[in-house]
A and B are shown apart, each in its own frame.
Chain A
Amino acid sequence: MPDTQAQVESITVEAVVIRADGTREDLGVVAAYHRRPWRRFLNKLRGLGRVSPTEE
């Protein structure tokens, strides 16, 4: 049966640090939830939550 119930599919929190000198550090997604367990597993495999800045 199709899933027709409204519910939260996913929540993500993305972070960008803007240093006082204007430098931007994109941290990407620092915390995430996904309704589907296999997507949560993929997030773990991707190391989501290990903050490693990428300067732009």
Chain B
Amino acid sequence: MAFGTATVLTNSGKRTAADRQQGTPTRNALKYVAIGTGATGAARTAVVADTALSTEVETRASGTESTVTTSVTGDTYEVVGTITATSTRAVDEAGTFDASSTGNMGVSATFPVVNLASGDSLQLTVKTQFA
């Protein structure tokens, strides 16, 4: 598949959303934000079967979680994470995970390249609205 702009709640993310309804969830919150640089090179468009980024770079940000209102009060899960580049990066993919490394992927996204120089930061806000 060719590279394309897309964002999805992965199959694993759906499982986590269901799991988190339990009184004692077995999965952690999808609050870790990751970025990558390999989607274009891998000709990858985000799909629900995704479990990882093509080429993850930098340390994941432990994002700030909240619920916000899009249509109905508190219907949207929002996580905001900021990642600082330690070298020049052409970021074209991002995702949320339930751990600071490896872990389960929640949202997978691919998008046109965002160029960062060393020392630049990328703040990502990922919103998942439930209907």
Residues of A within 8 A of B7 (CB): 11-13, 31-33
Q: Does B120 contact A (CB under 8 A)?
A: yes
A46 at the interface (CB under 8 A from B): no
Write out the residue numbers on chain A whose beta carbons fall within 8 Å of the beta carbon of B126: 11-14
A side interface size, CB within 8 A: 26
For A35, what are the chain B residues with a Cβ–Cβ distance below 8 Å? Answer: 131
8 Å CB interface, B84-131 against A: 94, 107, 109-114, 116-131
In the bound complex, residues from chain B placing their C-beta under 8 Å from that of A20 are: 117-120
Helix, strand, loop or mixed for chain A's interface? strand
The yes or no answer to A10 lying at the interface (CB within 8 A) is yes
B82 contacts chain A at the CB level, 8 A cutoff: yes
Q: Produce 1/0 per residue, A14-33, CB < 8 A to B.
A: 11111110000001001111
Cβ A15 vs Cβ B123 within 8 A: yes
Interface contact A18-B8, CB-CB below 8 Å: no
Question: In the complex, what's the smallest C-beta–C-beta distance from B112 to chain A, in angstroms?
Answer: 5
In the docked arrangement, what's the CA distance between A30 and B20, Å?
27
Residues of chain A having any CB pair with chain B under 8 Å: 3, 6-20, 27, 30-33, 35, 48-51
